Amino acid sequence: MASATLTVTVNGGIPPLSIQVGLLKNGTPVEHFGQASSFTHLFDDLEANNNYDVTIAGFNPAGGNTSLSISGTGITLTPISDTTPSEQDGKGYFVDFNFNS
């Protein structure tokens, strides 16, 4: 079994709306939740030999930014994945970490 740890850190204020996180396995939603502030979340029990997407969408506080990173055991980021760590400025962001387990 593989696992992945997602870390999202909001800087310079609080996110005005929740940070929305989704886990999809081969395009099928597995898990979805929202968080109101910086957090770390463990996706465990990732089945081997599958392709996963961890999507994160959110808004930055005025003038602030958000840093995102993913790490884990038994996972390999694919070439189409956003890089990790990722620093997102601007008004909002949408990040997709795509990996094979």
Binding region for other proteins (CB under 8 A): 9-18, 20, 22, 24, 26-27, 29, 32, 34, 36-38, 53, 55, 57, 59, 61-65, 67, 80, 85, 87-96
23 and 2 Cβ atoms separated by less than 8 Å: no
Q: Given the complex with other proteins, which of 3 and 11 has the nearer CB atom?
A: 11
**Dist. CA 101–CA 30, nearest whole Å:** 15
Closest distance of CB 1 from other proteins, Å: 22
Q: Which is nearer to other proteins, 37 or 73 (CB)?
A: 37
Q: Which is nearer to other proteins, 2 or 60 (CB)?
A: 60
Min CB(95)–other proteins separation in Å:
7
Beta strands in 12-100 (DSSP E): 19-25, 28-35, 39-46, 51-59, 65-73, 76-77, 86-88, 92-100
Other beta carbons within 10 Å of 95:
21
Q: Least distance (Å) from other proteins to the CB of residue 84?
A: 10
Whether the Cβ atoms of residue 63 and residue 39 lie closer than 8 Å to each other: no
